[in-house]
A and B are shown apart, each in its own frame.
Chain A
C-alpha cells in the first residue's frame, strides 16, 4: 500500500549448484544420518527450488548438495536422457554448477534418476540419486504420519503383509507393478521410488550409493553400497519381475525394460529400450561421445 513506485530490483546471482552452503550442509547432515540408518526416512528442511515440487526437487537438492566441480552428471527420466524433465534438470545444473554432463552411465559419477535404474550395472564410487514423490511405503495403507512413524519404530509391518496377501487372495498375484516395497538391511520397509519392480533386484547389494530425495515430503533416505535389499514376498508367491516376449526393436536387447510405442491407430506397437544410453551403446551408434557436453 506504499505510494512509492517499485524500488530498484536486486542483481541476481547463484551459489555453485544453486543452493547456499548452509542449506547444503544441512542436507549433507541428513544424508549422513540416512546412510547410517539404511532405509530410514530422515526429515530435512526442504527448500523451495526453481522447479516445482513433485518435479524432482528432492533429488535436485540431494544432487546439489553432493555435487563437486569435478563430478560428471547424468540425468535420466523414464530411463532416458532426452525426456523433457531430464533435459530441464540437466539444464539447471549446467546453468548453476557448470559441471560436466554425460549421457553415458559408465562415465557418470552422479546420476539423478526418475523412475528407472540404468541397465548397465553401477560400480563402486558412483552415486544414484532418486526423485521420490511419496517416501512413505505405508502411506496408502495409513495416511497419518503419526501412525506410520510408530509402525516403523515398532517394526510393525503386518499391515503391509496383509495388504500384499489380500492382493493374492483377490487377484491371484501381488498387484504392484512399480514402487514395489522393499525391506532394507532386514529392518526398514522402504519405497524404492516409482521404479518398475523390474529394477528392484538392482537395489540389492548395489556397489553404488543409492540416495533418495523427497522434496515436497521433506524426507531423505539411503541405501548404502552392498546393503541387502529384499522385495517383499511370500514363500509360495515369490517376487518376480516383468518379462517381455519380444526384444527391443532398435537394438534387439532381451534383458532390458521396454517402452511401448504406439505407431498407428490400428493397434500396432513397437517396443524399445527405456534406457536410451543402453540401447545406443548396444547399437554402437556414434551418439554417446558426441552427446557429451
Chain B
C-alpha cells in the first residue's frame, strides 16, 4: 500500500508507452507525414519556429507531430533541441526592405510605392465552415498570377515618413555586439534589442492580450499599422576567412511597423514613434507590435503604470516554456510541504478553538 502511493519507475515507463500509442491514434487512419504538417499546417509550423526561436521547418513539423498538435509542447521540444546546437557565428542583419513580398499592407496611406498586396490572408474571408474541405482530394482553384507591376521596389512606409522628419529615426546599433537573451541572463532595465528578442520568443496569446489591454486604455499608444510585410529575405553571413558576405539561407518572415502618435518631450519634437515586431513565417497577429511600443513608454518620457508598460512584468512572464513549466510543476509531489502546512494549520486551528472556547466560557459567566 505504501509503495502504491509513491508512483514508480514502471509507471513512468508505461505512461510514456501509452502516450506513444495515443499519439498514433487509430492505426487504420493513415499516419501524418512531416511534409503534410509542413505544407498543410504551415501556420502552426511558423508559430512553433517563432516561439521555439529556431528556423527549421522539418524539426518544427516533427515537434508538432510528437506533441500531438499541442503547440506549446512543440515549442518546448524545439527549444530543448535548440539549446544543444553549436553557435557558429552571427548573421548580418536581414534587409526587410529588399524582401520578396508575399503580402504587404499599410493602414496609413491609401497607396504607397510598391502597392498594397493582400497575399494569402484570412482577413476578408467570410468565416463560414467550408464543407468542401471535408472531402479529401478537393483541389483548390488556382489564384490569378500577380500583375507584372508586382515586384517593383517597395520601400518601407516608416522610412517614407522618416524622410519628412515626422517619424523618429530608426537607431542602428553601431559596431558593438548584439546582446543575446539565450546566452546571458536577463537583467533590468533591459535595452530594446533584448526586449525585442524576448517579445519574438514570447507567447502569442500573452502578447496579444497585453497589446489588447493597451488599446482599452491600460497604457494607450494610439497605434496605426504603418506597414505589415511578409515574404522571403536572404540571410547573409561573413565567414572570417572570406571577409565578405555570402548568402547562406532564405527565410520567410513577417514584419510589422506600428506608427504611434507622440506629443513630444523636452528633447524630441512632436513626431510619430515606432513599435516593431518580427516573426518567422506568416505570424501577423504575433508581429503586431503594440507591446514593443508600450515598453518604450519610459524612454519616451510617458507615464508608466499599465502592465504592458512594465518591462519587468512583461519580460519575466512572456515566455510560455517558462510559464507552462512552472504552472504545471504544481502537479509534482508536494507531500512534504503540504504535510508541513497541515501541521501548521492544525496548530493554528487548535489555538483558535482554545481562544474561542475561552471567549464563550467568559461570556457565559
Q: Enumerate chain A interface residues (CB-CB to B < 8 A).
A: 1-2, 5-9, 14-15, 18, 20, 43-50, 52-55, 57, 77-80, 82-85, 87-88, 91, 114-116, 133, 144-146, 171-173, 175, 177-179, 194-198, 216, 218-219, 242, 250, 257-261, 263, 270, 272, 274, 276
Within 8 A of A (CB), among B310-356: 312, 316, 321-322, 324-329, 332-337, 339-344, 347-348, 351
Nearest opposing residue in chain A for B4, CB measure: A261
The interface centre, meaning the residue of B3, B232, B333 with most chain A CB atoms within 10 A of its CB, is B333
Q: Which of B55-63, B143-151, B155-163, B164-172 lines the interface with chain A?
A: B55-63
Residues of B within 8 A of A79 (CB): 336
Nearest opposing residue in chain B for A180, CB measure: B340
Task: Please pick, from B185, B316, B344, the residue contacting A177 in the complex, using a CB distance under 8 A.
Answer: B344
Residues of A within 8 A of B252 (CB): 1-2
Residues of A within 8 A of B35 (CB): 5-6
Residues of B within 8 A of A8 (CB): 58
Not counting A9-B62, A84-B12, a sample of 7 additional A-B residue pairs whose C-beta atoms are within 8 angstroms of each other reads A45-B182, A49-B80, A78-B333, A85-B332, A144-B312, A145-B188, A259-B336
A196 lies within 8 A of B322 (CB): no
Residues of B within 8 A of A261 (CB): 1-2, 5
A87 lies within 8 A of B2 (CB): no
- Indicate whether B11 reaches chain A with its CB closer than 8 angstroms: yes
- Indicate whether B40 reaches chain A with its CB closer than 8 angstroms: no
Task: Please pick, from B2, B185, B339, the residue contacting A218 in the complex, using a CB distance under 8 A.
Answer: B185
Residues of A within 8 A of B324 (CB): 52-53
Residues of A within 8 A of B11 (CB): 84
Residues of B within 8 A of A218 (CB): 185-186
- Indicate whether B34 reaches chain A with its CB closer than 8 angstroms: yes
Q: Provide the main secondary structure of the chain A interface.
A: loop
A46 lies within 8 A of B337 (CB): no
Shortest Cβ gap from A13 to chain B (Å): 9
A54 lies within 8 A of B325 (CB): yes
Task: Please pick, from A53, A78, A133, the residue contacting B336 in the complex, using a CB distance under 8 A.
Answer: A78
A259 lies within 8 A of B58 (CB): no
Q: Complex: how many Å from CA A123 to CA B252?
A: 57
Task: Please pick, from B1, B184, B281, B344, the residue contacting A263 in the complex, using a CB distance under 8 A.
Answer: B1
Q: Provide the main secondary structure of the chain B interface.
A: helix
B335 lies within 8 A of A259 (CB): yes
The interface centre, meaning the residue of B3, B57, B232 with most chain A CB atoms within 10 A of its CB, is B57
A85 lies within 8 A of B333 (CB): yes
Shortest Cβ gap from A163 to chain B (Å): 16
Nearest opposing residue in chain B for A18, CB measure: B84
Q: Please, what's the 1-or-0 string for B204-215, where 1 marks a CB less than 8 Å from any CB in chain A?
A: 000000000000
Q: Enumerate chain B interface residues (CB-CB to A < 8 A).
A: 1-3, 5-9, 11-12, 34-35, 38, 42, 57-59, 61-62, 76, 79-80, 82-84, 86, 102, 182-189, 232, 250, 252, 281-282, 312, 316, 321-322, 324-329, 332-337, 339-344, 347-348, 351
A48 lies within 8 A of B329 (CB): no
A-B contact pairs, 7 of them (CB 8 A): A1-B281, A6-B62, A54-B329, A173-B347, A177-B344, A216-B326, A242-B340
Shortest Cβ gap from B347 to chain A (Å): 7
Assuming the contacts A2-B252, A196-B336, asked whether A175 and B348 have C-beta atoms less than 8 A apart, the reply is: yes
Residues of A within 8 A of B12 (CB): 84, 87-88, 91
Q: Complex: how many Å from CA A161 to CA B98?
A: 60
Q: Complex: how many Å from CA A276 to CA B282?
A: 53
Q: Complex: how many Å from CA A15 to CA B86?
A: 12
Number of interchain pairs (Cβ within 8 Å):
168
Q: Complex: how many Å from CA A175 to CA B252?
A: 55
B321 lies within 8 A of A198 (CB): no
Residues of B within 8 A of A260 (CB): 335, 339, 342
A1 lies within 8 A of B321 (CB): no
Q: Complex: how many Å from CA A48 to CA B340?
A: 31
The interface centre, meaning the residue of B3, B6, B282, B327 with most chain A CB atoms within 10 A of its CB, is B6
B347 lies within 8 A of A115 (CB): no
Q: Complex: how many Å from CA A257 to CA B342?
A: 13
Residues of B within 8 A of A257 (CB): 336, 339
Nearest opposing residue in chain B for A197, CB measure: B340
B7 lies within 8 A of A48 (CB): no
Task: Please pick, from B187, B339, B340, the residue contacting A43 in the complex, using a CB distance under 8 A.
Answer: B187
Shortest Cβ gap from A56 to chain B (Å): 9
Task: Please pick, from B59, B102, B325, B351, the residue contacting A53 in the complex, using a CB distance under 8 A.
Answer: B325
Shortest Cβ gap from A188 to chain B (Å): 18
A1 lies within 8 A of B8 (CB): no
Nearest opposing residue in chain A for B57, CB measure: A6
Assuming the contacts A1-B281, A6-B58, A216-B326, asked whether A115 and B343 have C-beta atoms less than 8 A apart, the reply is: no
B326 lies within 8 A of A43 (CB): no
Task: Please pick, from A7, A115, A171, the residue contacting B334 in the complex, using a CB distance under 8 A.
Answer: A115
CB-based closest 9 A-B pairs: A53-B325, A6-B58, A54-B329, A52-B325, A54-B326, A177-B340, A43-B185, A84-B7, A196-B340
Q: Complex: how many Å from CA A272 to CA B339?
A: 12
Shortest Cβ gap from B279 to chain A (Å): 13
B333 lies within 8 A of A77 (CB): yes
Q: Complex: how many Å from CA A270 to CA B339?
A: 12
Q: Complex: how many Å from CA A5 to CA B79?
A: 22
A48 lies within 8 A of B9 (CB): no
Q: Complex: how many Å from CA A115 to CA B11?
A: 22
The interface centre, meaning the residue of A14, A177, A197, A274 with most chain B CB atoms within 10 A of its CB, is A177
A6 lies within 8 A of B80 (CB): no
Task: Please pick, from B186, B322, B336, the residue contacting A116 in the complex, using a CB distance under 8 A.
Answer: B336
Q: Complex: how many Å from CA A52 to CA B184?
A: 20
B58 lies within 8 A of A52 (CB): no
Q: Complex: how many Å from CA A88 to CA B7?
A: 11
Residues of B within 8 A of A242 (CB): 340, 343
